[in-house]
Amino acid sequence: MSTATPITVVLEQEQDFVFRLHFEGLDAPDVLSDEGAPLGHDQGPRPSHLLLAAIVNCLSASLLFALRKYKNAPGRLRASISAVAERNADGRLRLPRALATLQLPEGSADYAHLERVLATFEDFCTVTQSVRQGIDVQVEVRDAQGQLLLGQAPTEAVL
């Protein structure tokens, strides 16, 4: 059983496919997400954009941490990530692969222990490694009175 505090994001529908995401326990602004046309109106990043942003952000933070661990003081990192949605065998859109490109601000000779940094930093990226291994996402649906309509009540071991 884990004693770590759960990471909680609360989502509320604003209109159509526009949702407000609130990050519980953080002093951070809410974020709006939306689907692209014809479902939505592109008033915010799509869920697939948020997934890709989480991956590339985590990779960049892990790289920065690893660089600093070996007393490197890099300038500003830059990164991008790209993926193409494809239909699976059931005709559903999925992101089967993504390419993340992380750009160091200096030449490789300017970094101490760069080979070690590059060999290990990905292992410390919680998001990327979670996505790579697959996340067992359990789903429940409740009505306005809290009655469970789909799924089963999560146990502490799940959270």
Task: Name residue, tokens 């948020």.
Answer: 50
pLDDT digits (tens, 9 = 90+) for 8-35: 999 999 999 999 999 999 999 999 999 9
Task: pLDDT band for 76, please (50, 70, 90 cuts).
Answer: very high
Could you say which DSSP state residue 82 is in? Answer: E
Task: pLDDT band for 154, please (50, 70, 90 cuts).
Answer: low
Looking at residue 159, its pLDDT comes to 56
3-state secondary structure 54-70: HHHHHHHHHHHHHHHHC
Looking at residue 19, its pLDDT comes to 96
Looking at residue 136, its pLDDT comes to 85
The residue type at 65: F
pLDDT digits (tens, 9 = 90+) for 97-142: 999 999 999 999 999 999 999 999 999 999 999 999 988 888 899 9
d(CA 147, CA 132): 34
Token pair belonging to 37: 């046309």
* Cβ atoms 136, 122 nearer than 8 A: no
